[in-house]
Amino acid sequence: MTAALALGDDALVLSHRLGEWAGHAPVLEEEVALANIALDLLGQARVLLSLVGDEDELAYLREERAFRNLQLVEQENGDFAHTIARQLFFSTYQHLLYDRLAVGGSPLAPLAGKAVKEVAYHQEHAEQWTLRLGDGTAESHERMQRGLDALWRFTGEMFQPVEGADVDWSELEDSWSRSVTALLARATLSVPAGERTGAWSAGAGRQGLHTEPFGRMLAEMQHLHRSHPGATW
């Protein structure tokens, strides 16, 4: 497994998940914001997957077990707070990772150097909504905490070493934990107490083992391409 494939799959799958909010976001401004984040991620996915092979074939013709994305990004959107919790966890990780890859000498450095600016916005967007929901009404606080608690067990997988991404994964995890913990404290939210590195969640997505929501999402994403093989526009 190469880093380009793993990180490309992360971006592709989360892009599709965020795209599912089209027509369903709570306000028009968020419709545009989530769509823009999805497009940023799709652009990253195209560059990364093209380093591995044909981007269309990799996106639309692989079977479920061939995908190497994190289980976190394949989780269903749930309500808006659940989506923001997923985005907070992932964008904080992605920003820290790309920031480190950008200064290295790997083939991923050019992409990381450009994408880190996009991902900084993704993280800021998630942080601002975490603050608004966590320190808002009793209901928004409860929903945000519920999303954090539900997704926490998937975060340990982010720090399993990926071949071709030469970073200090232990240091990356420490930086992520400090950033998320500080932000949750500001938002009057609690750091979830659940297990982050259970046998099922640690490294499973990177190994091609996915959760039930992923199969349904993949079938939807690949349906048109598989229904019309070889079609051109």
Domain annotation for the chain: domains and CATH numbers:
3-227 (1.20.1260.10)
Whole-number pLDDT of residue 200: 44
Q: In the chain, which stretches have pLDDT less than 50?
A: 1, 198-202
- Terminal C-alpha separation, the chain: 32
How many degrees, rounded to 5, is the angle at CA 124 between CA 123 and CA 125? 90
Residue 23's pLDDT is what? 78
In sequence order, which residues have a C-beta less than 8 Å from that of residue 213 and are 6 or more positions away? 74, 75, 76
Between CA 136 and CA 140 the distance in angstroms is 6
Question: What pLDDT does 22 receive?
Answer: 80
Q: Return the pLDDT at 195.
A: 67
Report pTM.
Answer: 0.92
pLDDT score for 203: 58
